[in-house]
Amino acid sequence: MKRIPIIFDVDTGIDDATTLMMACVSDSLEILGVTATHGNNHLENTLRNTLNVLKLCGREDIPVAAGAQRPLLCNRKYDEKNESGGMVVHGANGLGGYEFDFEDTKTALRKEKAWDFVYQTIKEYGKPVVYCLLGPLTDAAILLTKYPDAARYIKCFVNMGGYIREGMLSPMSSVNIFYDAQAAEIVMESGIPFYMCPGDLTGDALITIEEMEHMKQFRSPVGKAASLMVDAYYETCSKIGENVVNGLNGQSMHDNCALAFIEHPELFTYGRYYCRAESKSDLCVAMTVIDYEDTLKLPLDRKNLFFVDSVDREGFSSFFMECFQKYERMYEQKYERQ
């Protein structure tokens, strides 16, 4: 099987962590590296979480680099929201209070900054790479600004971000776009195909209560950790009324939806449009403005956005659960040999 070369940029909270767990056990992906950025938590915590998740998965062979501590343009609104947004949902440590039973690791940590690491990696790899952006887009924006020729080595961006029908931290924004609207504008205008999995869509990528109960039976270290994290995620989201989607009670797995799109695009539908992230308006800051009706009459090559608008929930949950079942089978085989 020809594997997909990929780099992840994460702000490791619960859905980022479980996404990395799923990616680490995939036969479809060639993970070239992971970079950690600000977002759900401060960089110190997102980096620690990223390194520890990879250690838990037995994948300290995957290099990790630290990215931006703050957005391109810092502002008071960011400071206020950064303290009250992701930490409310993902907990003070970013993982719903889950603690690893080993010392923090830095084995996989590279000395260079995220954008330098990514540029060196994709240039040396020599073939177009998928760049999966699961946090604010700061690292990708710095990469494109510092290394304009990086675009030739990136096949596409796949992003979890954006909102169409409603906002979170502003009337029309998602968390990941809000935390660095200027960076989002740079990345979307780069000319590189940009696949957006917005919050409107990823909310439908739900793991039901029944599936969460099944996860509690997992025996592998990775499966146990995932179950505890998802339970904590559900508990927090229940308090803010985000636990029922389309009549189903459960937990939406937002970042995991982007991974599912990369590995199983047949579970999704999408359209192609022009999009720009609003970075200057006060009321609509971080809004992803999409030209649905082609009012701008732009040529096809200017339509930079592939907007993912529907997901097969059952197909998604099957993919999600199967990834963790792999860990269970590996765990059982390990102890059968002993």
Q: Which residue in 13, 8, 14, 47 sits closest to 30, CA to CA?
A: 8
Give Cα 285 to chain centroid, integer Å: 21
Q: Which residue has the higher pLDDT, 199 or 27?
A: 27
77: pLDDT confidence band, cut at 50, 70 and 90? low
pLDDT of residue 1: 72
pLDDT of residue 239: 80
Q: Name the residue type at position 160.
A: M
Average confidence (pLDDT) over 181-206? 92
119: pLDDT confidence band, cut at 50, 70 and 90? very high
**3-class secondary-structure state, position 73:** coil
Average confidence (pLDDT) over 170-191? 84
275: pLDDT confidence band, cut at 50, 70 and 90? confident
pLDDT of residue 76: 47
Tokens of 284: 């609509």
Looking at every residue in the chain, the average pLDDT score rounds to 90
Using an 8 Å Cβ cutoff, are 136 and 41 in contact? no
Distance CA 8, CA 20 (A): 8
pLDDT at residue 78 above 60?
no
Residue range 23-72, pLDDT digits in tens: 999 999 999 999 999 998 999 999 999 999 999 999 999 999 999 999 99
pLDDT of residue 92: 85
Number of structural domains found in the chain: 1
Tokens of 49: 């979480």
Give Cα 252 to chain centroid, integer Å: 13
pLDDT at residue 91 above 60?
yes
How many degrees, rounded to 5, is the angle at CA 191 between CA 70 and CA 41?
20
Domain that holds residue 76: 4-336
Most confident option among 75-79, 167-171, 200-204, 231-235: 231-235
Distance CA 13, CA 236 (A): 13
- What is the number of other CB atoms lying within 10 angstroms of the CB of residue 103? 8
Using an 8 Å Cβ cutoff, are 255 and 160 in contact? yes
Residue range 278-288, pLDDT digits in tens: 777 766 677 77
**3-class secondary-structure state, position 80:** helix
Residue range 206-220, pLDDT digits in tens: 999 999 999 999 999
**3-class secondary-structure state, position 287:** coil
Q: What is the CA radius of gyration of the chain?
A: 19
pLDDT of residue 75: 60
CB-side neighbour CA atoms (13 Å) of 79: 4
pLDDT at residue 187 above 70?
yes
pLDDT of residue 166: 60
pLDDT of residue 81: 54
Average confidence (pLDDT) over 103-114? 95
pTM of the model: 0.93
Q: Which residue has the higher pLDDT, 295 or 269?
A: 269
Residue range 229-242, pLDDT digits in tens: 999 999 988 887 76
pLDDT of residue 70: 92
Q: Which residue in 21, 65, 25 sits closest to 46, CA to CA?
A: 65
291: pLDDT confidence band, cut at 50, 70 and 90? confident
Beta strands in 11-122 (DSSP E): 29-36, 64-66
* Residue 187's CATH number: 3.90.245.10
Residue range 143-167, pLDDT digits in tens: 999 999 999 999 999 999 876 656 5
Percent of the chain with pLDDT over 90: 69
Average confidence (pLDDT) over 106-133? 97
Q: What letter would DSSP give residue 165?
A: S
pLDDT of residue 28: 97
Using an 8 Å Cβ cutoff, are 268 and 121 in contact? no
Using an 8 Å Cβ cutoff, are 157 and 192 in contact? yes
Tokens of 308: 């993912």
**Helices and strands of the chain, counted as H and E runs:** 13, 13
